[in-house]
Each structure stands twice: as C-alpha cells, then as structure tokens.
Homo-oligomer: A and B are copies of this chain.
C-alpha cells in the first residue's frame, strides 16, 4: 500500500521477482484495492489488512493507533515465522517504528540504522545512518560502524571492510564533538577503522563503510541527490541552446543514461534496517517495478546471508 506507485508497480515488481528468483511472495494490502489487480499476478498471494498508514502520518502514533496496518501485518508475518522478511515503500519513519514495535531490536543494539549504497570511483560504498536517528550518541556511531562492517562483509563481498567516519577533515582532531568521541572509541578497538573521511574520500573509495549520525547522513545524501539532479537538469537545459549542443546532446544521450543508471537508487532498490531482530527493508517512496524487484532481491540476500544473525553475533549481547 505504500509509496507513490502502489499497488500497481509493487505487484509488477513482485511478480518479476517471484519469476526470476523462484520465491514466494505475499502482498499485504486492502483487499478492495489489491484483489482486482491480482488476476494478472497469479504467483502472488494476498494477505488482507484493514488499515493503511499514510505518508504524512506521525510514525509512532500511526503504528500504535493502527494495529492492523499493512506494515504491522507484514512485520507480524515475519515475527511469527511465516515470512522471512518484509518490504515497504511507504512512510519510512512508520516502517522503522513498525519494525521496532513488532519485530524489536536485537538485544544489545542501542539504535537501528538505515544504510544506503553509494556509487564511488571503484564501485560502491555503504553509508549509514542516512536517517533512522537524529542526535546520536558516540556509542550509537560505534555500533553503526560495527553493523555497517557486517553489511559490507555479508552483502557486498568485502571480507575486511575499511570503516570511516564522515567528517569535515581527515585529521584526527576534525569533526564535531560526536565524531571526535566516536573516533577516539573506534581507534584501536575496531580493526579496519580508517579514521575520518571527507565527502571526496567517500567517492574516492577510501572506505567501504562510512558512518554518520542520521541527521548529518540524511542531509549529506540528500545534498548528493539534489546536486546530481541540479547538474543533470542544467545540462539538459543549457546544452541544447545551440544547434551544435542539440546534436551533441543527442549523441551523448546513451552515455548520460548509463551514468544515470549507475548512480540510480532504483538499482539498489531497498535498504534493510540494521539492528532489527528480523529483516525489514525500506524501499524508496518513488519505487517503480524495477526498484521493488531490486528491493526484494536485497531482502532475499539479507535472508540468505543471515544478516540478522551475523549482526547479533557481532553487536548483540
């Protein structure tokens, strides 16, 4: 029920995933909205719910007041062992609140975190927290570093991930109070800790995992997205102003499209919440079928790679 393109695109993405990956997928939603569409999607099974959380609702309040929301039903299916993981493109605060409320935290994890895969010069880096928390304490950042390292190892094939703290300078003394204190704690205790990384270092692949408070991480990732959007829009508007530019623009269209695809969040599809005692994946609100399919792939990989068990072993107690 969540996101800009539900249920249509969600169903399409789910059917594609079911076909390609050979997995069973349940669609949780209002029967009136979903049932009529399911004729075209014979592989999908409807699990009904009676409530839906809107994009603008206050997360915690909505989760408490709507125990039969599609999100809560999803999370309960996982909690009860009937499903291995769930995905939503809806209100991301509510997804987190639902996961926390129904599935709970891994014992010993202070705060769950949300990561994002970022394109870099040599491939990808994993950046967290991009918005699950604000006002983090140093101990949260230390745990984000550990959970991020597990993610890089299990989900991205980096056996010895290098982990850095996003900062305003590389030197040890740089950073705000939070970053400086987290750095002091990570130094010497975490194998693979590489210290502070600046944004340019992130793109230069100087770390596999980059850690920040969720306010800073969210602003940083939104700054990157908005800057890319701004530049592509300007290129599109300014280049065709001359006849030369118009022709050139046509000729480079494929190259630009490839670049945009390479940095497109739809390729990555979704991000598992780290630290939840179960698999809960947040997909982008604008997800189309391709993004949903990719979110399902990420969910499947989290399950297959036992991401939750590995985080429990590393960070839990």
Using a CB–CB cutoff of 8 Å, the interface residues on chain A facing chain B are 119, 121, 131, 134-135, 166-168, 175-177, 179, 198-200, 202-203, 212-216, 218-220, 222-235, 238-239, 241-242, 244-245, 247-256, 258-259, 262-263
Let me know if B216 and A239 touch, CB within 8 A. Answer: no
Chain B residue numbers with a CB within 8 Å of A222 are 168, 198-200
A213-B176, A215-B175 known; A223+B252 contact, CB < 8 A: no
Let me know if B255 and A251 touch, CB within 8 A. Answer: no
Interface of A is mostly: helix
Chain B residue numbers with a CB within 8 Å of A229 are 200, 203
Let me know if A228 and B231 touch, CB within 8 A. Answer: yes
Chain B residue numbers with a CB within 8 Å of A166 are 219
Expressed in whole angstroms, the Cα–Cα distance for A198 and B251 within the complex equals 34
Q: List 12 A-B contacts (CB under 8 A).
A: A168-B222, A176-B213, A179-B215, A199-B219, A200-B226, A223-B224, A224-B224, A227-B227, A235-B256, A235-B259, A242-B254, A247-B248
Chain B residue numbers with a CB within 8 Å of A131 are 168
Residue of B nearest to A180 (CB): B134
Let me know if A251 and B256 touch, CB within 8 A. Answer: no
A222-B198, A228-B231 known; A245+B238 contact, CB < 8 A: no
- Copies of this protein in the complex: 2
Chain B residue numbers with a CB within 8 Å of A241 are 255
A230-B121, A249-B248 known; A168+B235 contact, CB < 8 A: no
A250 touches which of B227, B242, B248 (Cβ 8 Å): B248
Expressed in whole angstroms, the Cα–Cα distance for A250 and B238 within the complex equals 15
A134-B175, A250-B248, A251-B251 known; A259+B230 contact, CB < 8 A: no
Expressed in whole angstroms, the Cα–Cα distance for A227 and B220 within the complex equals 10
Expressed in whole angstroms, the Cα–Cα distance for A171 and B218 within the complex equals 15
Expressed in whole angstroms, the Cα–Cα distance for A299 and B69 within the complex equals 59
Chain B residue numbers with a CB within 8 Å of A226 are 198-200, 202-203
Let me know if A238 and B258 touch, CB within 8 A. Answer: yes
| Given A203-B230, A224-B224, 4 more pairs with CB closer than 8 A | A199-B219, A216-B216, A219-B220, A245-B252
**Distance of A132 from chain B, by nearest CB (Å):** 11
Chain B residue numbers with a CB within 8 Å of A249 are 248, 251-252
Let me know if A242 and B255 touch, CB within 8 A. Answer: yes
Chain B residue numbers with a CB within 8 Å of A168 are 131, 134, 214-215, 218-219, 222
Top 6 nearest A-B pairs by Cβ distance? Answer: A248-B251, A248-B252, A239-B255, A199-B226, A168-B218, A176-B215
Expressed in whole angstroms, the Cα–Cα distance for A212 and B215 within the complex equals 12
Chain B residue numbers with a CB within 8 Å of A212 are 219
